[in-house]
């Protein structure tokens, strides 16, 4: 497409005529004396400029050798373009559901919520809504969440699920880190980074990693409450458990805290050193009042504090569980009414210390 360039063309467009009544072409009628329509410069210049303006509005340079320029212009103008106040005024405002790019922010788009929309996107009271509604852009997401990758300009659902802590069903596909959290340590020799759940009145719960250089690294949980009362628990890389500055257990100890053999017996070592064990065993009346000797599942340490039990046999018996030493008890059963020794099965429970 190119403007007329014959030898009789003029360099400046003549002023358009203001006379006449708009109508339609005719080739005339000789029988009735109706003349054919005269095509003048006003019409041809108008037709030429309508086409040329559309092409040049898309940044193209008119070319007599390119007949596809108008097609390209139409296709380009159909794409989402930046908001244009002059265009809005010329066409009587943007139509309902028209989509425009933000005039100043890259990768931000708006949808018109009314017909004949002359308001400016983003302005107070404007009749536009963000195309992505309440979804966050990359910049907004990066400002709110932990360590996302550099994905632009928006995150897809899959990308967000892979990078952020979803409410449910979150699976981390790589390491995440937290940094820059300040204002807490249990001693001046420790540094700390982590996560903080902030509550009302300055109360919060902190989950952190901190360390003493050359000695240990630990995961620490601290609860800060009213009246400056703080609870502190940590697990160190050497396998020890601490409450404040006091160790109360080790990983090696915790690893062997419970043993069970079906419904026959069990033992359980608590972090404070208490050992609880029990099981089922038979009393034979032929063993008399000395009782039937039973070896415990494991051996008590310095103290064997308590032994007791109950009858689980078929008869209503009175039972006795007697301490012998750290690894042995004796069982005895009597028929309740007569007091005679009676074969039975006894469920026993013993308490002592593990060391």
pLDDT tens per residue across span 66-98: 999 999 888 877 777 889 998 899 889 999 999
pLDDT for residue 143 is more than 80: no
Residue 148, φ and ψ in degrees, nearest 5:
-80, 160
User: Considering the chain, what percentage of its residues have pLDDT values greater than 90?
Assistant: 46
Locus of tokens 């608590």: 270
The CA-atom distances, in angstroms, between 283 and each of 319, 334, 340 are 9, 10, 13
Q: Classify the phi-psi angles of 238: left when phi > 0, otherwise alpha if psi is within -120 to 50, otherwise beta.
A: alpha
Q: How confident is the model at residue 159 (pLDDT cuts 50, 70, 90)?
A: low
pLDDT computed for residue 27 by the predictor: 94
pLDDT computed for residue 60 by the predictor: 92
User: Considering the chain, what percentage of its residues have pLDDT values greater than 70?
Assistant: 75
Beta carbons within 8 Å of 307's beta carbon, 6+ residues apart: 321, 322, 323, 329, 348, 349, 350
Q: Do 146 and 128 touch, CB atoms closer than 8 A?
A: no
Token pair for 207? 């989950």
Strand order in 240-243's β-sheet?
Answer: 191-198, 204-212, 216-224, 230-236, 240-243, 246-250
- The H-or-E segment that residue 251 falls in is helix 251-255
pLDDT for residue 275 is more than 50: yes
Most confident by average pLDDT, 190-194, 253-257, 296-300, 336-340: 296-300
Token pair for 163? 């990078």
pLDDT for residue 196 is more than 80: no
Cis peptide bond upstream of 153, omega within 30: yes
Q: How confident is the model at residue 186 (pLDDT cuts 50, 70, 90)?
A: very low
For residue range 301-329, list pLDDT tens digits in order: 999 999 999 998 766 689 999 999 999 99
Average pLDDT in the chain? 81
User: What is the rounded average pLDDT of the residues 11-27?
Assistant: 91
Q: How confident is the model at residue 146 (pLDDT cuts 50, 70, 90)?
A: low
pLDDT computed for residue 83 by the predictor: 92
pLDDT for residue 355 is more than 90: no
pLDDT computed for residue 77 by the predictor: 77
d(CA 115, CA 121): 14
Q: How confident is the model at residue 247 (pLDDT cuts 50, 70, 90)?
A: confident
For residue range 209-228, list pLDDT tens digits in order: 777 767 777 888 877 776 66
pLDDT for residue 172 is more than 50: no
pLDDT for residue 230 is more than 50: yes
Q: Is 324 exposed, middle or buried (0-12, 13-18, 19+ CB in 10 A)?
A: middle
On the CB side of 8, CA atoms within 13 Å amount to 1
pLDDT computed for residue 256 by the predictor: 53
pLDDT for residue 39 is more than 50: yes
Q: How confident is the model at residue 20 (pLDDT cuts 50, 70, 90)?
A: confident
């Amino acid at each position: 497409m190119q403007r007329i360039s014959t030898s009789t063309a003029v360099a400046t467009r003549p002023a358009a005529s203001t006379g006449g009544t708009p109508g339609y072409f005719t080739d005339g009628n000789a029988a009735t004396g109706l003349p054919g329509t005269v095509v003048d410069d006003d019409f041809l210049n108008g037709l030429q400029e309508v086409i040329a303006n559309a092409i040049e509005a898309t940044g193209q340079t008119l070319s007599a050798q390119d007949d596809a320029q108008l097609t390209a212009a139409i296709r380009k103008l159909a794409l989402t373009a930046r908001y244009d106040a002059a265009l809005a005024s010329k066409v009587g405002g943007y139509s309902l559901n028209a989509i425009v790019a933000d005039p100043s922010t890259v990768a931000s788009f708006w949808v018109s919520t009314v017909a004949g929309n002359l308001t400016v996107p983003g302005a107070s009271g404007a009749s536009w809504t963000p195309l992505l509604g309440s979804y966050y852009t990359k910049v907004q997401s990066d400002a709110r969440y932990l360590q996302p990758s550099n994905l632009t300009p928006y995150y897809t659902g899959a990308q967000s699920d892979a990078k952020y802590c979803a409410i449910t069903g979150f699976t981390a596909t790589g390491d995440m880190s937290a940094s820059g959290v300040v204002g807490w340590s249990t001693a001046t020799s420790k540094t700390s980074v982590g996560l903080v759940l902030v509550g009302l009145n300055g109360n919060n719960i902190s989950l952190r990693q901190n360390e003493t250089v050359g000695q240990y690294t630990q995961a620490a949980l601290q609860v800060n409450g009213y009246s400056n009362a703080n609870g502190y628990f940590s697990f160190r890389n050497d396998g020890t458990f601490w409450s404040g500055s006091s160790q109360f257990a080790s990983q090696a100890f915790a690893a062997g805290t419970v043993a069970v053999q079906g419904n026959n017996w069990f033992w359980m070592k608590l972090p404070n050193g208490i050992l609880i064990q029990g099981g089922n065993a038979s009393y034979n009346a032929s063993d008399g009042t000395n009782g039937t000797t039973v070896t415990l599942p494991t051996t008590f340490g310095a103290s064997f504090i308590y032994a007791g039990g109950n009858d689980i046999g078929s008869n209503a018996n009175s039972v006795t569980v007697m301490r012998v030493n750290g690894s042995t008890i004796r069982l005895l059963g009597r028929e309740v009414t007569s007091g005679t020794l009676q074969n039975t099965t006894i469920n026993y429970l013993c308490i002592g210390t593990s060391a």
